[in-house]
Structure 1
Amino acid sequence: MTASSSAFPLPGVPAGDHADHADHAALVARLAAADASVRRIALLELADLEAPELVPSFVAALRDDASADVRREAARVLDAWEQPDVVDALCHALLDPDGGVRATAAQSLSELKSAASGAVLCRWADRPEPFVRAAVLRGLRELRDPDAFAPALRALDASDADVRAEAVVVLGWLKDGRALPPLARVATTDTDVDVRRAAVGAIGFASASDAAVVTALLAALRDAAWQVREEAAATLGKLRAAVARDPLVAALDDDYWQVRVRAVRALGQLRDAAAASAVVALLSHAISNLRKEAALALGELRNRETLPALHGALDDRDPEVRKAARIAIGQIDEASR
C-alpha cells in the first residue's frame, strides 16, 4: 500500500455542472495527499456528496491507502453503495492486516439488503479464514439467497464456533426443510452453547409433526446450559408440540427463572387445558414476571377452574400482574359465551 497514489480515479462525467465536478476533482486529488488525516477528511467530504462516479475512489482508498484509519473510513462509507464491485472490495477488506478495517468491512457487509449481493458473498463463503467465513455468512443472513444453502450446510462442520453459529442462522433464515436433520443434530451435539442455542431457535420453522425435530427440542429442554433450555421452551411453544406439555410443566421448576418464563409462555401457546393446574400455581410466585406470564398463559388455556385464582391476582401488588389477570379473565369469559 502507498500513502498516495494516482490510482484514486475520478471517472469521466457528463457535460455541465463544471464547478461541482471541479470541486469533486479537487477533493479526489486530496486523497493522494501525504498526510493521512487530509486523505481521511477528503474521503468523508466526498462521501457526503453521494455521487456514484466517486465510488471507484472509495474502493481504491479501501484497497490501497497506507493508513488503516483511511481504509477503515472507506469501508464504512462504502456501506451506502451496494453494488457487486463494492461488495467484493469489502470482502477483500476482511483480509486487511488491521483488525479495525476488518471489523468495519464485516459490519458493512452485515447491512446488505440486495439479493444481487448474494452471488458475490457466496464466492467467499468457503474461505479458510474463520473471520472471513463468519462475516460472509452473516452478510448472507437476510438476503435469503438459495445459493447460500450449500456453503452454510458445509459450515456446520467448521472448527470455529462463530462460523458454525452464523451457518445455523443462515439456514434458519432460508427455512429449507433439508436443513432440519443437520440442525437438529447441531442443537443437541455441538460443543458450543451459543451454537446449540442458535440451532434450537433455527429449527422453529419445522412442523410439530416432525418427530426428529421435536425429539431434539425435548432433549435441548434438558441441556446443561440454561440458555439452551430457555430457547428450547420457546421453540416448543412456537411449534405447539402437544407432546411437550409434560416436559414443559417439569420446566416450570427449572433453576433459572428465564427458563420458567419461557416454559409457562409455551404452555399457554399449547392451549392444553390440562396444564392449567401447574400454571396456576405460579400466580403466587415471588418473581412478578412469572406471575404475569402465568396469568397470560391461563387466559390462553381457557380453563374456568382457574378463575378464582385469577380474581385473586387482581389484588397483586404488581400492576402488570393485575393487568394480565384482567386480560385472562376476559379471555376465559369470552370463550364461555
Structure 2
Amino acid sequence: MTLSLVTSTPPEAADAVARLADADPNVRRVALLALADLGDPDLVPSFIAALRGDASPDVREQAAQVLAEWERDDVVQALAAALNDTEETVREAAARSLSQLKDPRSAYILLPWAERPEPFVREAVLRSLRELRCPEAFAVADHALSDSAPALRLEAIAVLGWLKDPRALPALAALSASDPDAQVRHAAVGALGFAAANDDTVVTALLTALSDDAWQVREQAAATLGKLRSPRAGGPLVAALEDPYWQVRLRAVRALGQLRHAEAAAPIAALLRHSISNLRKEAALALGELAARATLPALQSASQDADPDVRKAARIAIAQIEQTTS
C-alpha cells in the first residue's frame, strides 16, 4: 500500500510527491527525505500518511524520523500510535522522535499512552515526558515505580527527578535501598538530589546506599550527599574514603569539600599520594575548600606533582587557604 496526501503541493515538491506512490519502497523513502528537506508544513500530512500506511517498514521508519522536525498535535499522535507498529525499527524510530519533544503541551497528548499495556509504549512515553515537566505526569510515573520491569522503573524515576515533586521522595528513597536492580537503585539515589538537607528519610536512604553492593550506587550516593550538604553525612563520607573503588573515593572527597567537613582534612591530604591523578586533583581542590593550614605542606608537595592538573589544583588550594586563614 502506498500513500500520497498533501493539502497543497509546492511546485518544487511535485516530483517528489509523485514518487511517494512509486512501487519501489526505496524510491518512496528517498522521496520522503527530499520532501523533508523543503521544511514545508503543508507536506506533514504526507509524512503522517506514510508512517501510518506505507507497506514498507523502511519507509515507515523514515517517516518516523522525518516527523521529528515538526512538533504539532497530529504528529505527536501519529508517532505515539507508531510505538505499536509491527516492526521494531519503526517503533524505535518513533520513540526517538518523541524523545525530542520540547513543547510541554505535547505531554497532554502523550499521557493517555502512558497507561497502555505494552511495556515498550509506556517506556517510550515516559522517556518523552521526562523533559516536558508536566505536573500531570506525576501520577503515571509514580504508579510505574512499582512495575515489574526495571526499564520502566528507570524511566519513571527519570520523570520524577525532572518534576522534583516532594511527594516522590519516600518512594524514591525506598527504591534506592531495596530495589533488586542496581541500575534502578543508582537512578533513585541520583533523583533524590532535590530533597532538603534535613530530610531524615532521604539522608538515611543515601547513607544506606553508601554501603551498596554496587560501587556505582555508592559513588552516586556520595555525590548526592554532597549536593544535599547534610551534616549527618560527614562521618560516613570520611569512611567512604577507604572504599576499594577510587571512583567512590573521588565522589566522597568532592562531597566532603562541599560539606566543609573539617575532620576530613587529614584523610583527604593522604590521598594526594594516590596513584590515580584525578583523585589527587579532587583531593587538592577539596583541601582548598576545607581551608586547613595543617595541609599546606602536603599541598606544597602536590604543587610539584607530575600531572599538570594536580599541580594547578594544588596551587589553587594553597591560595584559597592562605586567603581564608590570613
Task: Give the corresponding residue for 1:150.
Answer: 139
Say whether 1:205 aligns with 2:194.
yes
Contact 1:10 1:25 in 2 (8 A): no
Task: Give the corresponding residue for 1:18.
Answer: none
Task: Give the corresponding residue for 2:295.
Answer: 306
Cα offset, 1:132, TM superposition = 1.0
Count of equivalent residues: 326
4+ residue runs of structure 1 moved beyond 6 angstroms? none
Contact 1:75 1:105 in 2 (8 A): yes
Structure 1 residue corresponding to 2:149, chosen from 160, 177, 184: 160
Say whether 1:108 aligns with 2:97.
yes
Describe the superposition over 1:101-129 as per-residue Cα deviations: whole angstroms up to 9, x where unpaired: 11111111111101111101111111111
- Write the distance in 1 (CA, Å) between the matches of 2:222 and 2:144: 26
Range with greater deviation from structure 2 (168-177 or 102-111): 102-111
Task: Give the corresponding residue for 1:11.
Answer: 7
- Write the distance in 1 (CA, Å) between the matches of 2:230 and 2:257: 12
The Cα RMSD (Å) is 1.1
Task: Give the corresponding residue for 1:318.
Answer: 307
- Write the distance in 1 (CA, Å) between the matches of 2:14 and 2:276: 65
Cα offset, 1:12, TM superposition = 4.0
**Which amino acid is 2:20 matched to?**
L
Structure 2 residue corresponding to 1:44, chosen from 33, 37, 41: 33
**Which amino acid is 1:148 matched to?**
A
Say whether 1:217 aligns with 2:211.
no
Contact 1:280 1:309 in 2 (8 A): yes
Unpaired runs of 5+ in structure 2?
A: none
Contact 1:234 1:266 in 2 (8 A): yes
Say whether 1:186 aligns with 2:207.
no
- Write the distance in 2 (CA, Å) between the matches of 1:318 and 1:94: 50
Task: Give the corresponding residue for 1:31.
Answer: 20
Alignment of 1:123-138 (within 5 A): 123-138=112-127
Describe the superposition over 1:42-64 as per-residue Cα deviations: whole angstroms up to 9, x where unpaired: 11111011101100100010110
Determine helix, strand or coil for the equivalent of 1:188: helix
Contact 1:206 1:239 in 2 (8 A): yes
Task: Give the corresponding residue for 1:244.
Answer: 233
Describe the superposition over 1:195-231 as per-residue Cα deviations: whole angstroms up to 9, x where unpaired: 1101100010001100000000000111000110000
Alignment of 1:86-125 (within 5 A): 86-125=75-114
Cα offset, 1:26, TM superposition = 3.3
**Which amino acid is 1:241 matched to?**
S
- Write the distance in 2 (CA, Å) between the matches of 1:320 and 1:148: 44
- Write the distance in 2 (CA, Å) between the matches of 1:61 and 1:283: 61
- Write the distance in 2 (CA, Å) between the matches of 1:44 and 1:320: 47
- Write the distance in 2 (CA, Å) between the matches of 1:280 and 1:62: 61
**Which amino acid is 2:5 matched to?**
P
Cα offset, 1:285, TM superposition = 1.2
**Which amino acid is 1:285 matched to?**
H
Structure 2 residue corresponding to 1:177, chosen from 151, 154, 166: 166
- Write the distance in 2 (CA, Å) between the matches of 1:63 and 1:277: 65
Task: Give the corresponding residue for 2:264.
Answer: 275
- Write the distance in 1 (CA, Å) between the matches of 2:14 and 2:45: 13
- Write the distance in 1 (CA, Å) between the matches of 2:14 and 2:33: 14
- Write the distance in 2 (CA, Å) between the matches of 1:250 and 1:122: 44
- Write the distance in 2 (CA, Å) between the matches of 1:55 and 1:201: 39
Structure 2 residue corresponding to 1:76, chosen from 65, 70, 73: 65
Structure 2 residue corresponding to 1:332, chosen from 291, 312, 321: 321
Cα offset, 1:189, TM superposition = 1.0
Structure 2 residue corresponding to 1:266, chosen from 252, 255, 273: 255
**Which amino acid is 2:217 matched to?**
V
Task: Give the corresponding residue for 1:17.
Answer: none
- Write the distance in 2 (CA, Å) between the matches of 1:170 and 1:316: 43
Cα offset, 1:317, TM superposition = 1.4
- Write the distance in 1 (CA, Å) between the matches of 2:277 and 2:5: 63
Cα offset, 1:286, TM superposition = 1.6
Contact 1:307 1:329 in 2 (8 A): yes
Determine helix, strand or coil for the equivalent of 2:136: helix
Tell me the TM-score normalised to structure 2 length: 0.98
Structure 2 residue corresponding to 1:287, chosen from 272, 276, 282: 276
Task: Give the corresponding residue for 1:16.
Answer: none
